[in-house]
Amino acid sequence: MHRLDGLSDTYSANIYCKRDDLTGFGFGGNKTRKLDFLLADALDQGCDTLIAIGANQSNFCRVAASYGVWGGMEVHLVLGGNRCENPTGNLRVDHLLGVTCHHVDSPDWDNWACEAEGLEKRLTASGKKVYRMPVGGSTPRGALGYVDAFSEIIADHSSLAVEFDAVIHASSSAGTQAGLIVGKAISGWQGQVIGVSVAKPQDEFRQDVLDLARATAVQMDAVVDPSSIVVDDGYIGEGYAARTAGCREAVEMFARRFGVFLDYVYTGKAAAALIDYLRKGRFAQGANVLFIHTGGNIELFE
């Protein structure tokens, strides 16, 4: 974690960046925190085969493949998109890991899930013990990764002598934000967790976060306050993975001023929201704000 001095000084605030793009396996990212819990569960159950679901350029699938290979498992990825002759970005890493990719020519997540369910049945019938994960690994167990991350944030309060007023991050499949919300409930922290939606409309996505946060909180004997869930869908643009002018500006700014690489699908849009909030005075002067860099910068190499 470090202070983004140029941005902080320009807007009279203290903006810190938590570098979850530097975590763990397979070029890192927020998915490593979820998979710390998911892979452990798979191995505890004696599973020998892993199924992960996502788009062709899924960060989750790339990290899941890395974890599965490390764990000695057979890995199958169900990927939305056509097979590529010359794979790039995440897909190139998937191929390098030697995992099996199953392509589904559809943008519909439900179609991916249906294919994964059928694949699980076939693999189980062949004698495999399968651990199948949903898009993004966003289950109550996976969300524990960001409950744990929130305890790190509380520890950072002490080590930095700074108490954050807000945490802002890209939010897509709900797991990261749900875990942070549960961590907030457990700790009693009074700040605001702001999820910048990069895929779904605010009301729909807020319900996704609430449902997953409640299911996760049950494991911790915690109670989630629905009013604590803040989702901003104002930076999606034309849709998921559609580039926006604000996103382009944020990616360039972070690279050229801080030497930090974002991506155009997730973190670029969250950073665009952060910059816009600062320009519009949405944070009080002198506020302490934490931007979580959730990874995904391998998208720059697509």
Q: What does the radius of gyration of the chain's CA atoms come to, in whole angstroms?
A: 19
Largest CA distance in the chain: 62
58 is catalytic: yes
Q: Considering 58, 138, 173, 228, which one is annotated as catalytic?
A: 58
Which strand (E) or helix (H) includes residue 132? Answer: strand 130-132
Name the DSSP class of 244. -
Strands 14-19 and 2-3: antiparallel
Phi, psi (degrees; rounded to nearest 5) at 206: -60, -40
| Cα torsion 8, 167, 247, 294: sign | positive
> At how many degrees (to 10) do helices 267-279 and 245-258 cross?
90
Do 47 and 150 form a contact (C-beta atoms < 8 A)? no
Sheet holding 166-171: strands in order across?
A: 2-3, 14-19, 288-293, 166-171, 192-197, 230-232
Name the DSSP class of 284. P
* Side chain identity at residue 189, one-letter code: W
Q: Which of 74, 55, 77, 224 lies closest to 143 in space, CA to CA?
A: 224
Q: Give the residue numbers annotated as catalytic, written as ranges.
A: 58
